[in-house]
Amino acid sequence: MTERVVIVGNGMAGARLAAELHARAGDRKVTVLGAEPHRAYNRIMLSALLAGRIRERDVALAEAAGHGGDLRPGVPVTGIDRAGRTVRTADGDRIGYDHLVLATGSRAVVPPLPGLDGELPRRVVPFRTLDDCRRILAVADGARSALVLGGGLLGLEAARALATRGLATTVVHPTGHLMERQLDPAAGAVLAGTLAGLGVTIQLAVAATGVAADAAGVRLALADGRSLHADLLVLSCGVRPDTTLAAAAGLAVRRGVVVDDRLRTSDERISAIGDCAEHDGTLTGLVAPAWAQAGVLAQVLSGAEPPARYRPRPAVTRLKAAGIDLAAMGDATGDGPDEELTFTDPARGTYARLRIRDERLTGAILLGDNPTIGTVIQLFDRGQPVPADRRSLLLGRASGAAGTAPAASPALMPDAATVCQCNAVTKGALVSCWRSGARSVDAVLAATRAGTGCGGCRDAVAGIVDWLSQADSVEVTR
C-alpha cells in the first residue's frame, strides 16, 4: 500500500527531505505543507539579498523544482490528531498520514519591550523570512539610517548589508562584546573595529528598554537614559524553535521537539528535523545539520540497511558579510587548561585563536586575513592532529621545523577533506563525480549539491575541477 508521508514546513530541511525521498525508490506519496506562500528558498542567502549582492530569484532552492510530490505553499498546519493520524490545515482540510515529519524551523524572537507588543510597527522588522527581507528593503528604500537590535551573527550580517546600501547603521548589543556565543572579548573588539571601518557604529553593553515608532521614524530607548532615532529598526534578538504543533499534540518537547538518533519523536509515527528538533539535548540552528538530518531521515523512511543514524558533526560558524572574513568553531571562548595560541593585529582587523588538547583542535576563532583558515577548518572537522610547528597553523608560516600545516592545494588535500560544509561534500566525492563524467564546475556542483548552501565553497570546488582538468590534460598529452 502507498505510504503517505506528510511534511510540515517547506523550509530548508522540509524541502531537502522531500527531494531526498523523491530521489529514492518506494511506493509513497509525499505531501509538503508550508506556511510561507513561496517556493522553498535558501534562507541563509537572505543576508546577501539584503546586501544587494544577489536578486530575489537567486535565493530559490534547487530542491524546490525537484520535489515531485504534492506541494502546498501558503497552507499552515493548525493541529495534529495523533489518534486519527491526520493533520488539520488553516484552510479547513484534513490530511491523513502514515508518517508525519515536523520541519517547522524557528521563529525570530521579538523582545518583550514596550512598543513591541501586538502587531509590529511598519518600521520595526525581524530578520528571518523572505517577507521580512522584503519589508526591510521596502523601509530601507529612501531611508537614511537604521538601528539593529542584537549584535549576534545575523544582526551583524543585517547591519553590514544596510551599511552597504548607504544607511547610517548602528548596532545595539546588550553584552560587552559582539557575537559573545562564538567570540571571546578580544575577537569581539577586533570585529567591532572592522565594522566601524565599514560604516557600522556599535553600542555595547546597553539594553534596550522600549520602542516608539510612527510615520516619521523609530526611537529606541536605552537603559542608560539615551534614546537613538532612525528610519528603520531591525530586530535580531535570536530565534526560538517552533514547537507549537508538537507541544499541542502532546509530543515530548524541551527547548525543541525531542528526537532520537533516527529522528523519531516520542511518537514513532512522527519525526522532527532541522531547527525545531532537539537531538541529544542540542538545538542546531544551522543548515548543515538540518540537511544531514533530512538525509538520514530519508534513509530511515526508505528502510535503508544498515539502519541510518544521525551523528552530529562539529559545527563551523562563518559570518557572510562583504569585507569581513570570520570563522568560529568548537569551544573557542573557554578558559580551560587547553594549549592556547593567539595572534592579534587590530590595525589590520586580524585575530586568530586556536585551542588545542591532546594534539587536536578543540576550538578556533579566525577573523580577518588568516591564510590557514581552510586548513584549520579541515583539521577541526576531521579531528586530526595539528602540526608540530604550531606557528605554521596560526600564521601560515613554517618555522622550518618538521610537521608543517598541510597545504590548501587541491593536489595535497586528502580525499576525506570536507570542501562544502553545508552539504558535507568531501574532495573525494568531487573527484569521483568528475570521474563519473561531470566535466564542468556547474555539473559537479549540481551532482554533489556542493555550493547550494552558503555558497562559500564555490571557489574551492572550481579550484578542484581546474586541477582535475589539468591533470587529465597532462594524462592525455602523455
Ligand X SMILES: Cc1cc2nc3c(=O)[nH]c(=O)nc-3n(C[C@H](O)[C@H](O)[C@H](O)COP(=O)(O)OP(=O)(O)OC[C@H]3O[C@@H](n4cnc5c(N)ncnc54)[C@H](O)[C@@H]3O)c2cc1C
Interface with ligand X (CB under 6 A), residue from 71, 156, 228, 290: 290
The answer to whether 151 contacts ligand X (rule: CB under 6 A) is no
Q: Are 351 and 344 in contact (CB under 8 A)?
A: yes
Interface with ligand X (CB under 6 A), residue from 28, 39, 43, 67: 43
Give ∠ CA 288-289-290 in degrees, rounded to 5.
90
The answer to whether 452 contacts ligand X (rule: CB under 6 A) is no
Total residues interacting with ligand X, rule: CB under 6 A: 35
Please identify the residue of the shown chain whose CB is closest to the bound ligand X. 11
The answer to whether 14 contacts ligand X (rule: CB under 6 A) is yes
Interface with ligand X (CB under 6 A), residue from 21, 101, 104, 350: 104
Nearer to ligand X among residue 321 and residue 354 (C-beta): 321
* Candidate segments 19-27, 163-171, 208-216, 281-289, binder of ligand X by CB under 6 A: 281-289
Nearer to ligand X among residue 120 and residue 471 (C-beta): 120
Interface with ligand X (CB under 6 A), residue from 5, 21, 33, 64: 33
The answer to whether 417 contacts ligand X (rule: CB under 6 A) is no
Q: Min. distance of Cβ 355 from ligand X in angstroms? A: 22
Interface with ligand X (CB under 6 A), residue from 184, 275, 278, 381: 275
The answer to whether 245 contacts ligand X (rule: CB under 6 A) is yes
Interface with ligand X (CB under 6 A), residue from 7, 18, 30, 77: 77
* Candidate segments 38-46, 143-151, 217-225, 342-350, binder of ligand X by CB under 6 A: 38-46
Q: Min. distance of Cβ 308 from ligand X in angstroms? A: 19
Q: Min. distance of Cβ 172 from ligand X in angstroms? A: 18
Cell numbers standing for residue 112: 518583550
The answer to whether 288 contacts ligand X (rule: CB under 6 A) is yes
The answer to whether 76 contacts ligand X (rule: CB under 6 A) is yes
Residues at the site binding ligand X, with contacts judged by CB under 6 A: 8-14, 33-36, 43-44, 46-47, 76-77, 103-106, 127-128, 154, 242, 245, 274-275, 285-288, 290, 320, 454
